[in-house]
Amino acid sequence: MNQQGFQLLGLAMRAGKVISGEEIVITGIRKGQVKLVFLSQDASENTAKKVLDKAKTYQVSVTTVPTRDVLGRAIGKDQRVVVGVTDLGFARKLYSLCENE
């Protein structure tokens, strides 16, 4: 994801449209609240499998980010492995920015 994408993800966080944490994001996917998932490439194998399987089942797109530090910095927090975007507008724009890289 480029700098513009990270800035938009930070804006979504400040707007209250982002959730983070493995169990919280998985629950959000199940409830249909999460529209897009960001997963760090350094996530544990178990965490990545759980998130990817749940996202596939509920047809939620997943985008990878290089490290948990990068993902955490994007939302103004410490390290984050999994982040979910709950707003469809933010999710669409972020997805398009990731696809155009």
Residue 92: which CATH number?
3.30.1330.30
Model confidence, pTM = 0.94
Determine the average pLDDT of the residues in 68-83: 93
Question: Does 101 have pLDDT greater than 90?
Answer: no
DSSP string, the chain: --HHHHHHHHHHHHTT-EEESHHHHHHHHHTT--SEEEEETTS-HHHHHHHHHHHHHTT-EEEEES-HHHHHHHTTSS--SEEEE--HHHHHHHHHHHHT-
Residue 1 scores a pLDDT above 80? no
Looking at the structure of the chain, the number of domains it has is 1
Range of the domain at 26: 3-99
pLDDT of residue 62: 95
